[in-house]
Chains A and B, each alone.
Chain A
């Protein structure tokens, strides 16, 4: 072999190696793991009602529509357009580009099936109150048009449906039955398909490259693994070790640990989740003075400044700045005033104090146990004899949904428009979570929901929130500034409602 031949051979080999290397890199699958705090307990997409799951299932089955925080308005997805035919009738026009995994199109029949059969009529559904409280009928006008009829005018209907209505295949349901369709044949029209679900542990979704949304963002990860990690240390350590690339809800005291790493960053987001202490109107909380005393007893500012290191904003009513219907002049304000709390307790007939048990989840919300522990001496200083109970989340959540816990710390997510949340927790008979009933409040909440004029609607909302703050079936505490830990390889702007849409992520290969 002469010198020229050797040179040709070396160049050829180098070219081959580069070519193969490039091919390998091009074909490499990208995977993003996300450490999440909420549990994933069931294969039934309608079997639970928690913020994270609405996002994940929407991604698998295709969001019906979505709220864009950038635009401050709702955007079409599967439902491309909509119009209000009359105050109780909405027409939704579906995109023809959405296809199930088997290639069949997502049609109006599927939407009708999902609303009527899965959300409203199925006894296993936990989503009627938060997705379709006023919907009485949905019908297919044609293959890609759906008519939704409500029992009363419902102005905020989109806030119930967008990012919440999960659309599953009617054909799969009819063919395999509910359990098998959900567990073994999950058909979705979304940009990702369900690959694996191990309840309580993890959920894996894989990208459908042919999906219109996936084509728009080719850098979206090919596979996303949602791993349930309740412990903050676990999430932070996993983030530092590159086991997860996104970690939800880093507590303030651990943010420096993440920031020290060159590969990681902290992204703070003002959450739209409202945190509150719920009080069922049963003794002693059947007395308004006792409920108000709870609100006056807790020094929210001190808790925010110390335990939360300022990463939260105080709520004086159900809403904070940036949320629809927020009223900065809302009255009354139940400020920290332990002396007033003592007087209210005495007025309620408890001059010597009263026993109360506050229940809190542990690890579900940022520093939930620590924050409620800090409330106990504050309540005691105001005349209560308070105890803290820390049941398992599954037990607590099941009891809250049944309405058997009189006093608890909880959060309500996705409150861009408060209508759904206020109805869910405070309207008579909607859910037993608080069991509160006030005809005047019901009237105002009904009116705001029926009012299509935004100015009048805000007025009704403001009046309703004023009653709520005064009557205090719940003490509104704060909205967290949520800290997300992100690996620099992933470009992603977390959303204020903590939904995670993988299709909005961009991964550096």
Chain B
């Protein structure tokens, strides 16, 4: 009876997995393709853009989309700048900011989280108090405050976004480190004479990469939105750098008279964030230990 129950449970899990795997593939494929396209567009931006994104033609301002093959396929904005070129260049900045924020905040968050969890005691207390203090600020308000002090600029914007985005890494990593440090392989490493730094870098952090990867994908999506929000509010990058956020900000006073101005940058933000979220979702499902157990039939 017991073996029958186990068997039927395994069958159920296998069935669930069978249903899940194609869904995962669809999500991963769709998300990955979208992200890959935008990354490619970002890298090849100057080659793909038909015009200089900042070139103004006041005599050709507010031209509606003219279709594929036309001089201004997606139309022009209030200063006669080509929207397609600006959208392409905007992807570079948005993705550059997103990647930079993910890497820098990941580095800070993972390091602090691992140190906090491994050492415990006063170190843990201090780091966690810092986390609580920084976490208490509303993210957008903190970003605006930092930008108001430092001024507009790409580097400052990345700094403003990193200021809070390292916290999710730190908290999750700390929790996992607390569990990992008690595991046998860490004890073995310690017995073999490995130093604390070596244990953290060689044995703990590699075990946290999978989780951090999932956090990173969601952090990337939220960074793109945060960059657009700060640029929309006029405290992001300087106006001469085209980003999707600044394009939206510029478009807001023409929203009722020129629909194409907010549509294309808005669409880009939507699709990119959707793609990254799909990819992150698929990654999370794939790296979920419960699903791993199901897949191995345990």
- Does the CB pair B58–A306 fall under 8 Å? yes
Q: Which residues of B contact A254 (CB under 8 A)?
A: 253, 256-257
For A370, what are the chain B residues with a Cβ–Cβ distance below 8 Å? 78-79, 250
Q: Does A376 contact B (CB under 8 A)?
A: yes
Binds B, one of A202-210, A384-392, A471-479: A384-392
The answer to whether A388 and B239 touch across the interface, beta carbons within 8 angstroms, is yes
User: In the bound complex, do residue A377 and residue B55 qualify as a contact, i.e. CB atoms below 8 Å apart?
Assistant: yes
Q: Is the CB of A251 within 8 A of B253?
A: yes
Do A373 and B79 form a contact, CB below 8 Å, given A388-B238, A388-B240, A392-B234? Answer: yes
Please give, as numbers and ranges, the residues of chain B lying within 8 Å of A220 by CB-CB distance.
none
Q: Which of B59, B152, B239, B256 meets A373, CB within 8 Å?
A: B239
Question: Which of B61, B234, B240, B254 meets A362, CB within 8 Å?
Answer: B234
A369 on interface, CB distance cutoff 8 Å: yes
Query: Closest approach, in angstroms, between the C-beta of A285 and any C-beta of chain B?
Result: 20
Write the residues of chain B forming the contact surface with A, with a CB cutoff of 8 angstroms: 54-56, 58-59, 61-62, 78-79, 148, 151-152, 234-235, 238-240, 250, 252-257
Bound Cα distance A232, B253 (Å): 6
3 tightest A-B contacts by CB? A306-B58, A388-B239, A232-B253
CA–CA, A231 to B151, complex, Å? 22
A374 near B56 with CB under 8 A, answer yes
The residues of A that contact B152 with a CB separation of less than 8 Å are: 389-391
| CB atoms of B253 and A307 under 8 A apart | no
Report if A307-B234 is in contact (Cβ < 8 Å); known contacts: A233-B252, A233-B255. Answer: no
User: For residue B235, which residue of chain A has the nearest CB?
Assistant: A392
Enumerate chain B residues within 8 angstroms of A329, measured Cβ to Cβ: none
B148 touches A307 (CB 8 A): no
Q: Which residues of B contact A302 (CB under 8 A)?
A: 58
How many angstroms from the CA of A307 to the CA of B58 in the assembled complex?
8
Within 8 A of B (CB), among A317-366: 362
Interface residues of A in 237-260 (CB under 8 A from B): 251, 253-254, 257
A248 to chain B, nearest CB (A): 14
Could you say which residues of chain A place their CB within 8 Å of the CB of B255?
233
Interface-central residue, B59, B79, B235, B255, by most chain A CB under 10 Å: B79
Q: List chain B residues, Cβ under 8 A from A367.
A: 253
**B61 nearest CB neighbor, chain A only:** A306
Asked if A374 and B58 sit within 8 Å, CB to CB, the answer is yes
Cα distance A356–B58 when bound, in Å?
Answer: 23
**For residue A369, which residues in chain B have a CB less than 8 angstroms away from its CB?**
239, 250
Q: How far is the CA of A100 from the CA of B35 in the complex (A)?
A: 68
Asked if A303 is an interface residue, CB under 8 A from chain B, the answer is: yes
CA distance A233 to B257 in the complex (A): 10
Given contacts A231-B252, A233-B252, A233-B255, contact A376 B240 (CB under 8 A): yes
On whether A377 and B54 interact (CB within 8 A), knowing A254-B256, A306-B61, A389-B238, the answer reads: yes
A-B contact pairs, 24 of them (CB 8 A): A231-B253, A232-B253, A233-B252, A233-B255, A233-B256, A236-B256, A253-B62, A253-B254, A253-B257, A254-B256, A257-B257, A303-B58, A307-B58, A370-B250, A374-B56, A377-B54, A377-B55, A388-B238, A389-B151, A389-B238, A390-B152, A390-B238, A390-B239, A391-B151
A395 at the interface (CB under 8 A from B): yes
What residues of chain A lie closer than 8 Å to B79, measured between beta carbons? 307, 370, 373-374
- A259-294, CB < 8 A from B: none
Q: Number of contacting residues on A, CB 8 A?
A: 27
- Which residue from chain A places its CB closest to the CB of B58 in the assembled complex? A306
Most buried by B among A306, A362, A388, A395: A306
Expressed in whole angstroms, the minimum distance between the Cβ of B96 and any Cβ of chain A is 19
Q: Which residue of A lies closest to B52 (CB)?
A: A377
Chain B, Cβ-Cβ closest to A236: B256
Question: In the complex, which residue of chain A has the Cβ closest to the Cβ of B78?
Answer: A370
Residues of A within 8 Å of B239, CB to CB, are 369, 373, 388, 390
Chain B interface main SS type: loop
Extra contacts besides A370-B78, A389-B151, A390-B152 (16): CB < 8 Å:
A231-B253, A232-B253, A233-B252, A253-B78, A306-B59, A362-B234, A369-B250, A373-B79, A373-B239, A374-B58, A374-B79, A377-B54, A377-B55, A390-B239, A392-B148, A392-B234
- Kindly provide the distance from the CB of B83 to the nearest chain A CB, expressed in whole angstroms: 15
Q: When chains A and B are docked, how far (Å) is the Cα of A392 from the Cα of B234?
A: 8
Q: Which of A365-405 contact B (CB under 8 A)?
A: 367, 369-370, 373-374, 376-377, 387-392, 395
Closest to B255 in A: A233
Would B56 and A377 count as touching, CB distance under 8 A?
Answer: yes
Closest to A253 in B: B257
How distant is the Cα of A362 from the Cα of B252 in the complex, in angstroms? 12
Residues on A with C-beta less than 8 A from B54 are 377
Output the least CB separation between A500 and chain B (Å).
Answer: 22
* Assembly CA distance A303 to B79 (angstroms): 10
**What's the nearest-Cβ distance from chain A to residue B276, in Å?**
29
**Cα A377 to Cα B58 with chains together (Å):** 11
- Chain B min CB distance to A378 (Å): 9
Q: Give CA–CA (A390, B138) in the complex, Å.
A: 23
The smallest beta-carbon distance between B258 and chain A, in angstroms, is: 8
Select from chain B the residue with minimum beta-carbon distance to A367.
B253
Q: Which residue of chain A is the closest to B62 with respect to CB atoms?
A: A253
Give CA–CA (A377, B80) in the complex, Å.
Answer: 12
Which residues of B sit under 8 angstroms from A251, Cβ to Cβ? Answer: 253
Name the residue among B55, B250, B253, B255 with the largest chain A CB count within 10 angstroms: B253
Which residues of chain B have C-beta atoms less than 8 A from A395's C-beta? 148
For the complex formed, measure the closest distance between the CB of B18 and the CB atoms of chain A, giving whole angstroms: 52
CB-nearest residue of chain B relative to A254?
Answer: B257
In the assembly, what is the distance between CA of A403 and CA of B253, in Å? 31
Chain B CB count within 10 A is highest, among A253, A254, A307, for A253
Chain B's nearest CB lies how many Å from the CB of A243? 16
Compute how far the CA of A24 lies from the CA of B257 in the bound complex, rounded to whole angstroms: 42
**Which residues on the B side are within 8 Å of A389 (C-beta)?**
151-152, 238
Q: Chain A contacts of B257 at CB under 8 A?
A: 253-254, 257
Query: How many Å from the CB of A389 to the closest CB on chain B?
Result: 6
Known: A374-B58, A389-B152, A392-B235. A257 touches B240 (CB 8 A): no
Q: List A contacts of B78 (CB < 8 A).
A: 253, 307, 370
Chain A residue numbers with a CB within 8 Å of B148 are 392, 395
How far is A380 from B151 in the complex, measured between Cα atoms in Å? 22
Q: A307 to chain B: which residues have CB within 8 Å?
A: 58, 61, 78-79
Docked complex Cα distance between A142 and B62 (Å): 64
Query: A476–B106 Cα gap in the complex (Å)?
Result: 51
